[in-house]
Structure 1
Amino acid sequence: MSIAKAISNAMSGLTATARGTEVVASNLSNIMTPGYARREMVVTAQLLGGGVRIDGITRIVNASLLSEARMAASSVGDVSARASFFQGMEKIVGLPGEPQALSTALTDFQAALSAAAARPDDEIRLSQIVSTASALAGRLNAASTAVQAARSTAQQDIASEVATVNAALERVAYLNARITVLDADGKDATPLMDERQQQIDRIARIVPVQEVTREGGKVALFTAEGAVLLDGSVPARLGFQGNAQVTAGQVVGAPLELLTLNGTALSAAQMRLFGGGSLAANFQIRDQLGPQLQSELDDMAFELHQRLADPAVDPTLGAGDAGLFTDAGARADPATLVGLAGRIALNASVDPGQGGQLWRLRSGLQAPNGEPVGQSSVLNALVDALDAQRPAQPGSGFTGNGSLSSRFGSVESRVATRRVEAQADLAVRSSRQSTLSASMMAEGVDSDAEMQRLLQYEQSFAANARVLSAVDEMINQILRI
């Protein structure tokens, strides 16, 4: 081997060693960086001229594991949104025995009626009926308001997530173009690939996404159900319009909207293309889960209204008269039942604060006067009406015979069951995501392996340096001759 060739080989070795050391340093400094993939330097021996050639820096990514991790993130986003909704609704509806529960407010009202029936002449006891009845109506109003607030929050989250997906898709398309240019120039594009992975991960938490490799370092993106998000230079564009506030009775098409894809409105069936992530969960909260609970609250409010508006309970009432509870002052109509829980109120005729008289509670809402003060038939009838085992109202979500307390307990049980099921599902899916995340970490940077590689580079550096030192001595010897 000639001196010149020895110098060339040693210099190429030093160059590769320096570059490899940089790669190791980058790996070690980014162990915990999201989206960072371990790098490895690719070198080959040069057959002509000797030495080694750096062919590039390779990102080491387990594509199948990454895809599974993204699907798990979408799944957790879906269940997490629903579990959060159910948890919030359980706090509003409450559980039997809890101070804030709807059933507790009903129990307090029933207790006040029973106490007043024993002493109908006691105005303090009559005023307690007004207080507890107002509290019961207020609890129903608050529950209805909370449901619509949750639907409004879901509507706002949909708009925010659509904006996030659009921005991320635009960035991925830009990074695709830049990576292609760098790849063609033989430059290191791995930092841009890391950023691209982070952007795709952002999308995956909202919509389940599948990544497909294309030539030139590009990737194409599709939803798990097959909708094209990006396949080329121009990304798909999601659209969504909607008011910030959602009210009871608003449904898809009147006036709530679904997504648009590249300017074309999607049908309810086509929305499955974007199912499985937090975006789909928010649509479900807005269009299904929220209205379902609102309907159950309305059924409770209507049965409360009907039981106490019966002329058999209060003989002074006419067919069109409102009972002890009203629909914003009027008699409730089954045709306008939606949102009743948010409108139900105590009849003003028995509330002194609204110009009413307490004696109407014992004598009847339409009675001409409060005499005699000792009559308790109406109060007893009110107590019995609440406790009576009656068939469910036609068209309601209740079945079989039951008292009003059992109806309230049924709704509380349903809400609690949904919360428990959602949280159990979330625990399972979160566990799977944690397992996949741990696997991703194991596939990533191993500090021990990197330190071992650094020692190898140190040995390589020392060997090449010794070659140069030996060549230097040889040249000096020649020059001294």
Structure 2
Amino acid sequence: MSIAKALSNAVSGLTATARGTETVAANLANAMTPGYARREMAVSAQTLGGSGGGVRIDGIARIVNASLMAEARSAEAARANAATLSTYASRMEEAIGIAGDPGSLGAALTGFETALQSAASRPDDEVRLAQAVDAADQLARVLNSASTEVQKSRSAADQAISRDVAALNVGLERVAYLNRRIAVIEAEGRDSSSLVDQRQRLVDDIAKIVPVQEVAREGGKIALFTKSGAVLLDGSRPAEISFTAAHEISADRTVGSGALSRIQFDGAELTESQMRLFSGGSLEANFTIRDELAPKLQNDLDALSFDLHQRLTDSTVDPTLTATSTGLFTDAGNRADATSIVGLAGRVKVNAAVRPGDGGQLWRMRAGTHAAAPGVTGDNSLLRAMTAALNKPSGALAGSDFEGVASLSGRFALVESRVSTIRVNAEAETAIRNGQADTISSRFMGDGVDSDAEMQKLLQYEQAYAANARVIQAVNDMMDQLLRI
């Protein structure tokens, strides 16, 4: 081997070890950086004139386990979905209350029944009659408050959908831009790894909103599809996704009535079945809250309110009532109608006729809601009849989620139980999804930068550098010897 060739081989070796050292340093520095993929230097033997000519750097390879990355994204989408539903369930349990808690629905009903019994023991005592009216007011307020919280949760979900769609559009636009930049850089033969890292982080964020499948395209580009096959990006421009948020949501505003929007995809609003194209992430969870879970709870509250209204608007309980007159509990001052009870829980109020602050008289709790005179002060028949009516087993309202016959307290307890069960199940699902996501994330991180392996490579590069440096030193000594001859 000639001196020139030996020198060329050593110089190429020094260049390769320097580049390899840079790669190791970058890997160690970015070991915990989200979206960063481990780099490996690819080298091959260089041939000059049919014989060995040193080492050639073929490029820097970005090492990613594509199947594990896809699994991690699906797990993060499931985590986001479960966390959103769990937050809603906890909020609703706080609004409805747990059986036995002082501020729960059941406690308010129990307080009203207790006040009626106390008033029945001394029907002439206006203090006890006032306590019964206050307890009725408290029961109405608890129902009003629960209904308000349900609608607030729907409004919050609607706004979250709007934010998710906006973030989805921004993310897809950025991915499309990076696709174009990466294609240009790779066409010029330059390293695009840093841009690919940015793109991976963007796709990771998109996958939390809606699970995606990533498909490689030529020129370093990628295409994105939802798990159910909707094309989010395949080419230079992403799909057009839009959503019209509602300014205010009430119980009667639903998707079915046309008052609320679904996703518009490429200019057309998706049908209920087509919404499955966007299932799996936080976006689907918010639609589930707005259009399924919260309306179902509102339906239960409305049915409870109507049951309460009907039990005390019966002429056999209060003889002063007619078929059209209002009872102790009203629909915003009117008699409730089974055909229009949507949102009744938010409107139920105590009849002004028994409220002194509204011009009513306390004695009507004893004599009858529409009584013209106080009657006999010791007559407790109406108070006892109202207590009995609340505890009497009765049939469920047609169209409600209640079945069979039950007392009012039984149905209140059933709603509390349903809400608590949903919360417990949601938290259990969240724990499972968190565990799965953390496990897969650990596997994915473990498949990335291994600091021990990188340090071993660094030692190998150090040894290779020293060996090539000795060759250059030997060539230098030989040249000195030749010059001295």
Q: Same fold (TM over 0.5)?
A: yes
Distance 1:472 1:352 in 2: 110
Give the letter for the 2:169 counterpart.
N
After TM superposition, the structure 1 stretch with the greater mean CA deviation from structure 2, 42-51 or 26-35, is 42-51
Partner in structure 2 of residue 68 of structure 1 = 71
Q: Secondary structure at the match of 2:144?
A: helix
List gaps (5 residues or longer) in structure 1. Answer: none
Q: 1:418 aligns with which of 422, 426, 429?
A: 422
Partner in structure 2 of residue 256 of structure 1 = 260
Partner in structure 1 of residue 19 of structure 2 = 19
Alpha-carbon offset, residue 58 of structure 1: 0.8
Distance 1:251 1:304 in 2: 25
Give the letter for the 1:341 counterpart.
A
Alpha-carbon offset, residue 95 of structure 1: 1.2
Partner in structure 1 of residue 125 of structure 2 = 122
Alpha-carbon offset, residue 245 of structure 1: 2.1
Distance 2:343 2:394 in 1: 23
Q: 2:98 aligns with which of 95, 101, 111?
A: 95
Equivalent pairs: percent with the same residue?
57
Alpha-carbon offset, residue 424 of structure 1: 1.4
1:106–1:136 contact (8 Å) kept in structure 2: yes
Q: Work out whether 1:381 is the aligned partner of 2:385.
A: yes
Distance 2:337 2:224 in 1: 51
1:155–1:244 contact (8 Å) kept in structure 2: no
Q: Secondary structure at the match of 1:232?
A: coil
Give the letter for the 2:24 counterpart.
V
Please list the CA deviations of residues 416-472 of structure 1 after superposition, one character each: whole Å capped at 9, or x if unmatched: 111111221221122111110110011010000000000001001101111111111
Distance 2:249 2:395 in 1: 33
Alpha-carbon offset, residue 269 of structure 1: 1.3
Give the letter for the 2:310 counterpart.
Q
Alpha-carbon offset, residue 60 of structure 1: 0.7
1:86–1:418 contact (8 Å) kept in structure 2: yes
Distance 2:157 2:298 in 1: 15
Q: Work out whether 1:232 is the aligned partner of 2:235.
A: yes
Matched residue count = 481
Please list the CA deviations of residues 335-375 of structure 1 after superposition, one character each: whole Å capped at 9, or x if unmatched: 11000000000111111111111000000011111121111
Give the letter for the 2:199 counterpart.
R
Partner in structure 2 of residue 247 of structure 1 = 250
Q: 1:322 aligns with which of 318, 326, 332?
A: 326
Q: Work out whether 1:204 is the aligned partner of 2:207.
A: yes
Q: Work out whether 1:8 is the aligned partner of 2:8.
A: yes
Distance 2:283 2:383 in 1: 51
Distance 1:270 1:372 in 2: 66
Distance 2:361 2:460 in 1: 94
Distance 2:232 2:14 in 1: 45
After TM superposition, the structure 1 stretch with the greater mean CA deviation from structure 2, 248-257 or 25-34, is 248-257
Distance 1:239 1:41 in 2: 43
Q: Secondary structure at the match of 2:225?
A: strand
The within-5 A match list for 1:446-457 is 446-457=450-461
Please list the CA deviations of residues 276-299 of structure 1 after superposition, one character each: whole Å capped at 9, or x if unmatched: 111011111111111000000000
Q: Work out whether 1:468 is the aligned partner of 2:475.
A: no
Distance 1:176 1:277 in 2: 24
After TM superposition, the structure 1 stretch with the greater mean CA deviation from structure 2, 160-169 or 238-247, is 238-247
Distance 1:358 1:368 in 2: 12
Q: Work out whether 1:291 is the aligned partner of 2:321.
A: no
Give the letter for the 1:209 counterpart.
V
Alpha-carbon offset, residue 254 of structure 1: 2.2
Q: Secondary structure at the match of 1:268?
A: coil
Q: Work out whether 1:213 is the aligned partner of 2:216.
A: yes
Distance 2:400 2:47 in 1: 84
Q: Secondary structure at the match of 2:232?
A: strand
Alpha-carbon offset, residue 46 of structure 1: 0.3
Q: Secondary structure at the match of 1:128?
A: helix
Partner in structure 2 of residue 370 of structure 1 = 374
Partner in structure 1 of residue 30 of structure 2 = 30
Partner in structure 1 of residue 189 of structure 2 = 186
Give the letter for the 2:22 counterpart.
E
Partner in structure 2 of residue 144 of structure 1 = 147
Give the letter for the 1:274 counterpart.
F
Partner in structure 2 of residue 434 of structure 1 = 438
Distance 1:42 1:271 in 2: 45
Distance 2:143 2:421 in 1: 20
Give the RMSD, CA atoms, in angstroms: 0.9
Alpha-carbon offset, residue 249 of structure 1: 1.1
Q: 1:480 aligns with which of 468, 478, 484?
A: 484
Alpha-carbon offset, residue 2 of structure 1: 1.1
Alpha-carbon offset, residue 244 of structure 1: 3.2
Partner in structure 2 of residue 43 of structure 1 = 43
Alpha-carbon offset, residue 395 of structure 1: 2.6
TM-score (normalised: structure 1)? 0.99
Alpha-carbon offset, residue 262 of structure 1: 1.6
Q: Secondary structure at the match of 2:47?
A: coil
Q: Secondary structure at the match of 1:256?
A: coil
The within-5 A match list for 1:303-314 is 303-314=307-318
Give the letter for the 2:380 counterpart.
S
Q: Secondary structure at the match of 1:22?
A: helix
Give the letter for the 2:397 counterpart.
Q
